[in-house]
């Protein structure tokens, strides 16, 4: 494979360039003409569709329904919850004209839809019988990125889902926030083979407008943490300014309790970074647009006919068993070129079949993720391929988990903290209750608290920054 | 049902107000805070999801794949195909600022994506091996509406799909345009029970930038035609300015042949207008979020227990048979209230069950669309309900077809033309080849050529306007 087609840098030496090349050369995405915006090509979008289907099913089962919200929000409405607005203001795209006419109340391109959704919820909800209201929106959010952008990780428009729920009790809303975090974790682990750490954000790092924020985080190979999804308990912070009220069974009016939560195509960015290698993309089987590629190998026309025929048989039986399979019967390129091509695209399993294989009634199976090869008898191949796909997923997850665990350390001093950080680690470090210590650490090292896992309270140690009594041992890292 | 809940005007006397009330009161949609924009509530969005799934399957089967394009297109790119740009220019929303910074090259909110997609296709396509390229995008289009807006029919942002394909031959592209029209027709007839008339648009009415446009049209009860979907043969009109070229098998460079096509949530608007009645929405079974509602009827606690138990059994067996079924066990409202409530929401089939029914081992089935009721034995009810849903669809389609056919007439004179138009008819009328006649008719009557059906060439009659020799007998109507 020529240099211009394959990946030209190694993942270890130039992670950032490697990532961009994988995205573009595996044809997942491309740059749009506006800086900071990308386009998803079919292979990239197909991964998003798989994720969407998996998450959508879980949300439907738990009583959520989908809706549609428009892209444009009037400035007057967006600015109704002050703190929330201040958080987004520098990133807002503003529509000021339609055709040649100027628009009075400028229109924001939705950076997120809390304000729009809740102005509607206040009309829709009258009594306790209308609750809980659990709506989800599959759309995009638009936030003009000032920092340097990166496909899937930091773009000025991104695909996501935003869920918004309204409850009659605080307890029910808090349960929802926790349930959603579990659903997210399950989806990411089971579809993308990405291990995550869940817990709360600190006051400093939570969503502006939330009472608290749950998060799931993972560590990328460059030592930076990636926030993979958040679930916010909003309390009554929005129901009060937006007048989201309900009358209870005694006919008494109350402000409702709310949640909001989202995951975006960042998940795909995480998947690429975590699993990819120097040959390109490595796709977890459940989201791979093509799970198995069959490469016929022959050097004469007589062999060709036999090989293609057998390869087609195998293709058909796999397809009948709901395997997403492709037979690469291109004539104008060599088997070697095809190997490289499908490796670049990350197809989880390759089947090689040649005349000698047919004589022995077998094929060669080659795994993408660890490049292991073994012979496989053709009879019963469908069962073997299905179980192979499951074990590829499990092995990819186990490998990733081992690396994550190996890169997660605990320190007791600021000196150790800084040295571990340079090694690209996620660090458990005790801190006190004074928010200034957290701020100072972030300012001096670039690392922030990614997540405060459950049961991380600890008053027996010393704060790594001020050395006063610790309050908890959260997890620090530099972040995306 | 109180006036404030039910529909307060009749479909016949105040069609426009009737339509809006159905949309809002059946909770399909609501107004967003920006004029001309709407929000879809779960029942409305669910209809869109059903349509999407049905169409998506057909597109996948015929080799189309989905992708994602961003919302923002630079003005410089949008204006590259002059005629196309001129067509959309007055409707474009312009982003001029991000945060506090002004943007140099203004950004348009996508009114349609030809320009953006084709600037990318020109990068992606190199040789005949990359063709055909068949991509579809499920997104929204944004066009600032100057005329008065109406939910689903005329809004400044609407859900749609836009398909874009690239071919190496003219013939293949033309076949694609025709195939898509067939797929659209099938989808609309099989999912929404709407009969349509297909054919070409005239030069005057075609999509700006297309060589020709196929359309499907239906007639609404107020005598106005609704364009339900279009499929455009673009020829090389875009491939030339956007440099969409491929080298053929002899290594000679050629400009490619292109198509684009779309349907929008207008289809839902058509469904509401065509099937609804004075009691509210009437949903075709295949897209109904709930297909069957079970209403338990009882007046004592003892009866209640029995009735609810039997109703639950029926619910469970229907659910097991993949019927979307709801048991309305609300205690605080009467059966009569429930009847009206679910009629307003258009649920195709109602099952009534009371103590006397249970004694006789039967229930009452009531169809929404023609309000027919009949008894049904409980044993084997799942089969009967499934076949009932099919025949409801067929009857709804047949009824609509009869009305459409009855309202389609042929005239030979301009006097008859104008008189039939006032009766709300679709009119076959002969016209000559001079485009000015078509323009004059439109100017004087408000009716335009909706569609030129296949085989409507006719040189034996006289043009209704200039009385010279006719060229064809297209179909006229006033339109939405």
- Model confidence over A14-31: pLDDT tens digits? 999 999 999 999 999 999
Q: Residue A86: in which H helix or E strand, if any?
A: helix A82-88
Q: A45: which chain B residues are within 8 Å (Cβ-Cβ)? A: 65-68
Q: What is the gyration radius of the CA atoms in chain A, in angstroms?
A: 25
Q: Compute the count of residue pairs across chains A and B with CB atoms less than 8 Å apart.
A: 162
Selecting from A99, A100, A119 the residue whose C-beta is nearest the C-beta of B33 gives: A119
B73 vs A: CB within 8 A: yes
A127 vs B: CB within 8 A: no
Confidence at B54, pLDDT banded by 50, 70, 90: very high
The alpha carbon of B129 is separated from its chain's Cα centroid by a whole number of angstroms, namely 35
Residue A207 DSSP code: P
Q: Residue B86: in which H helix or E strand, if any?
A: helix B82-88
A424 to chain B, minimum CA–CA distance in Å?
A: 34
Please indicate whether, in this complex, the C-beta atoms of B39 and A70 are within 8 angstroms of each other: yes
* pLDDT tens, position by position, A370-386: 999 999 999 999 999 99
* pLDDT at position A328: 97
| Whether residue B214 is found in the same domain as residue B98 | yes
Please compute, for residue A212, the number of CA atoms within 13 A of its CA located in the half-sphere on the CB side: 15
From B35, B32, B42, select the one nearest A116 (Cα to Cα).
B32
A47 vs B: CB within 8 A: no
Q: B142: which chain A residues are within 8 Å (Cβ-Cβ)? A: 71-72
Please indicate whether, in this complex, the C-beta atoms of B30 and A123 are within 8 angstroms of each other: yes
CA A367, A370, A374, A379 dihedral sign is negative
* pLDDT tens, position by position, B322-366: 999 999 999 889 999 999 999 999 999 999 999 999 999 999 999
| Whether residue B215 is found in the same domain as residue B93 | yes
Tokens of residue B411, six digits: 């005239």
Decide if B192 contacts B270 (C-beta within 8 A): yes
Confidence at B104, pLDDT banded by 50, 70, 90: confident
Decide if B215 contacts B202 (C-beta within 8 A): no
CA distance A335 to A327: 12
Does position A211 have pLDDT exceeding 90, yes or no?
A: yes
| Whether residue A200 is found in the same domain as residue A319 | no
Q: B73: which chain A residues are within 8 Å (Cβ-Cβ)? A: 33-34
Selecting from A39, A46, A120 the residue whose C-beta is nearest the C-beta of B120 gives: A39
Decide if B259 contacts B234 (C-beta within 8 A): yes
Does position B81 have pLDDT exceeding 80, yes or no?
A: no
Selecting from B66, B70, B92 the residue whose C-beta is nearest the C-beta of A34 gives: B70
CA distance A428 to A409: 6
| Whether residue A229 is found in the same domain as residue A140 | yes
Phi-psi region of A361 (alpha: psi -120 to 50; beta: other; left: phi over 0): left
Which of the residues B27, B31, B43, B67 would you substitute to probe the A interface, choosing the one with the greatest number of A C-beta atoms within 10 Å? B67
* Domain end marker among B275, B304, B334: B275
Which of the residues B99, B113, B338 would you substitute to probe the A interface, choosing the one with the greatest number of A C-beta atoms within 10 Å? B99
Does position B26 have pLDDT exceeding 90, yes or no?
A: yes
CA distance B284 to B175: 31
Please indicate whether, in this complex, the C-beta atoms of B34 and A107 are within 8 angstroms of each other: yes
Biggest alpha carbon distance in chain B? Answer: 85
In a domain, A283, yes or no: no
**Helix-strand-coil split of chain A, %, nearest 5:** 35, 30, 35
Selecting from B68, B73, B144 the residue whose C-beta is nearest the C-beta of A40 gives: B68
B32 vs A: CB within 8 A: yes
Share of chain B above pLDDT 70, in %: 99
Mean pLDDT value across chain A? 96
As a residue count, chain B comes to: 480
Tokens 């002899």 label which residue?
A: B250
CA distance B93 to B144: 6
Which of the residues B72, B79, B107, B265 would you substitute to probe the A interface, choosing the one with the greatest number of A C-beta atoms within 10 Å? B72
Please indicate whether, in this complex, the C-beta atoms of A68 and B159 are within 8 angstroms of each other: yes
| Whether residue A313 is found in the same domain as residue A267 | no
CA distance B367 to B411: 38
* pLDDT tens, position by position, A428-480: 999 999 999 999 999 999 999 999 999 999 999 999 999 999 999 999 999 99
In a domain, B267, yes or no: yes
Does position B1 have pLDDT exceeding 50, yes or no?
A: no
Number of neighbouring beta carbons within 10 Å of residue A192: 30
| Whether residue A448 is found in the same domain as residue A363 | no
Confidence at A146, pLDDT banded by 50, 70, 90: confident
* Domain end marker among A388, A421, A436: A388
| Whether residue A317 is found in the same domain as residue A234 | no
| Whether residue B379 is found in the same domain as residue B443 | no
Share of chain A above pLDDT 90, in %: 93
Does position A190 have pLDDT exceeding 60, yes or no?
A: yes
Minimal-distance CA residue of chain A relative to B36: A70
In a domain, B1, yes or no: no
Please indicate whether, in this complex, the C-beta atoms of A39 and B69 are within 8 angstroms of each other: yes
B241 to chain A, minimum CA–CA distance in Å?
A: 16
Mean pLDDT value across chain B? 96
| Number of domains comprising chain B | 3
Average pLDDT over residues B249-261: 97
* pLDDT tens, position by position, A384-420: 999 999 999 999 999 999 999 999 999 999 999 999 9
Please indicate whether, in this complex, the C-beta atoms of B95 and A94 are within 8 angstroms of each other: yes
What are the C-alpha distances in Å from A139 to residues A71, B184, B466? 9, 24, 52
| Whether residue A434 is found in the same domain as residue A338 | no
Selecting from A94, A99, A156 the residue whose C-beta is nearest the C-beta of B97 gives: A94
Does position A3 have pLDDT exceeding 60, yes or no?
A: no
A24 vs B: CB within 8 A: no
Q: A73: which chain B residues are within 8 Å (Cβ-Cβ)? A: 33-34
| Whether residue B305 is found in the same domain as residue B265 | no
CA distance B222 to B202: 24
Minimal-distance CA residue of chain B relative to A330: B129
Q: B341: which chain A residues are within 8 Å (Cβ-Cβ)? A: none
A219 vs B: CB within 8 A: no
CA distance A173 to A169: 6
In a domain, A393, yes or no: no
The alpha carbon of A447 is separated from its chain's Cα centroid by a whole number of angstroms, namely 21
Q: For residue B52, give the CATH number of its domain.
A: 3.30.930.10
Q: Which residues touch A281 (CB under 8 Å, ≥6 apart)?
A: A22, A26, A28, A272, A275, A344, A345, A346
B94 to chain A, minimum CA–CA distance in Å?
A: 5
Minimal-distance CA residue of chain B relative to A27: B124
Decide if B366 contacts B349 (C-beta within 8 A): yes
Q: A332: which chain B residues are within 8 Å (Cβ-Cβ)? A: 129
Average pLDDT over residues B367-388: 96
* Domain end marker among A275, A303, A326: A275
B20: helix, strand or coil: helix
A424: helix, strand or coil: coil
In a domain, A153, yes or no: yes
B38 or A301, higher pLDDT: B38
In a domain, B79, yes or no: yes
| Whether residue B415 is found in the same domain as residue B470 | yes
A92 vs B: CB within 8 A: yes
What are the C-alpha distances in Å from B37 to residues A235, A407, B32, B33, B397? 29, 49, 5, 7, 31
A359: helix, strand or coil: helix
From A105, A110, A218, select the one nearest A164 (Cα to Cα).
A110
B9 vs A: CB within 8 A: no
B437 to chain A, minimum CA–CA distance in Å?
A: 31
Tokens of residue A207, six digits: 């969503």
Tokens 């990733």 label which residue?
A: A400
In a domain, B397, yes or no: no
Share of chain B above pLDDT 90, in %: 93
| Whether residue A305 is found in the same domain as residue A262 | no
Q: Give the DSSP per-residue string, A41-58.
A: -HHHHHHHHHHHHHHHHH
Q: B37: which chain A residues are within 8 Å (Cβ-Cβ)? A: 70, 72
* pLDDT at position A5: 77
Please identify among residues 350-379 of chain A the ones whose CB lies closer than 8 Å to any CB of chain B. Answer: none
* pLDDT at position B4: 65
Show the beta-strand stretches assigned E in A297-361. 325-327, 349-353
Q: For residue A306, give the CATH number of its domain.
A: 3.40.50.800
Decide if B114 contacts B260 (C-beta within 8 A): yes
Tokens 């008065």 label which residue?
A: B148
The alpha carbon of B27 is separated from its chain's Cα centroid by a whole number of angstroms, namely 18
Selecting from B89, B91, B96 the residue whose C-beta is nearest the C-beta of A94 gives: B96
Biggest alpha carbon distance in chain A? Answer: 85
In a domain, B399, yes or no: no
* pLDDT at position A1: 44
List the domain range (segments joined by +) for residue A440. Answer: 408-479
Tokens of residue A148, six digits: 């340097």
């Amino acid at each position: 494979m020529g240099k211009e087609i394959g990946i030209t840098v190694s993942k270890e030496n130039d992670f950032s360039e490697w990532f961009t090349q994988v995205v573009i050369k595996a044809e997942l995405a491309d740059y749009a003409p506006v800086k900071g915006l990308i386009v998803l090509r079919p292979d990239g979008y197909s991964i998003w569709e798989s994720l969407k289907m998996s998450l959508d099913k879980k949300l439907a089962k738990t009583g959520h329904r989908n809706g549609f919200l428009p892209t444009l929000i009037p400035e007057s409405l967006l600015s109704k919850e002050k703190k929330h607005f201040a958080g987004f203001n520098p990133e807002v795209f503003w529509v000021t004209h339609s055709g040649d006419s100027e628009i009075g109340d400028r229109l924001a391109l939705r950076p997120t839809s809390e304000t729009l959704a809740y102005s509607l919820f206040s009309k829709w909800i009258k009594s306790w019988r209308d609750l809980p209201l659990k709506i989800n929106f599959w759309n995009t959010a638009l936030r003009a990125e000032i920092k340097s952008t990166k496909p899937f990780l930091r773009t000025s428009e991104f695909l996501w889902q935003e869920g918004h729920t309204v409850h009659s009790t605080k307890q029910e809303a808090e349960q929802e926030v926790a349930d959603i975090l579990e659903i997210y974790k399950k989806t990411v682990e089971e579809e993308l083979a990405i291990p995550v750490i869940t817990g709360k954000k600190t006051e400093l790092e939570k969503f502006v407008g939330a009472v608290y924020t749950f998060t799931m985080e993972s560590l990328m190979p460059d030592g930076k943490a990636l926030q993979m999804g958040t679930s916010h308990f909003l309390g009554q912070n929005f129901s009060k300014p937006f007048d989201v009220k309900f009358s209870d069974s005694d006919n008494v009016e109350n402000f409702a309790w709310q949640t909001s939560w989202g995951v975006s195509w960042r998940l795909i960015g995480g998947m690429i970074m975590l699993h990819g290698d120097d040959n390109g993309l490595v796709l977890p089987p459940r989201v791979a647009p093509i799970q198995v590629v069959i490469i016929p190998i022959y050097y004469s026309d007589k062999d060709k006919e036999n090989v293609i025929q057998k390869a087609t048989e195998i293709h058909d039986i796999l397809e009948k068993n709901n395997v997403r399979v492709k037979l690469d019967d291109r004539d104008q390129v060599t088997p070697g070129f095809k190997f490289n091509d499908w490796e670049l695209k990350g197809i989880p399993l390759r089947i090689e079949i040649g005349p000698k294989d047919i004589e022995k009634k077998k094929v060669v199976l080659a795994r993408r993720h660890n490049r292991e090869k073994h012979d496989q008898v053709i009879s019963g191949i469908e069962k073997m391929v299905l179980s192979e796909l499951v074990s590829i997923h499990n092995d990819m997850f186990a490998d990733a988990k081992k690396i994550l665990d190996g890169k997660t350390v605990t320190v007791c001093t600021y000196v150790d903290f800084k040295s571990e950080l340079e090694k690209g680690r996620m660090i458990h470090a005790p801190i006190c209750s004074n928010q200034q210590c957290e701020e100072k650490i972030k300012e001096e090292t670039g690392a922030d608290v990614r997540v405060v896992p459950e049961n991380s309270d600890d008053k027996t140690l010393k704060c790594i920054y001020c050395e006063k009594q610790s309050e908890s041992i959260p997890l620090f890292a530099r972040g995306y």
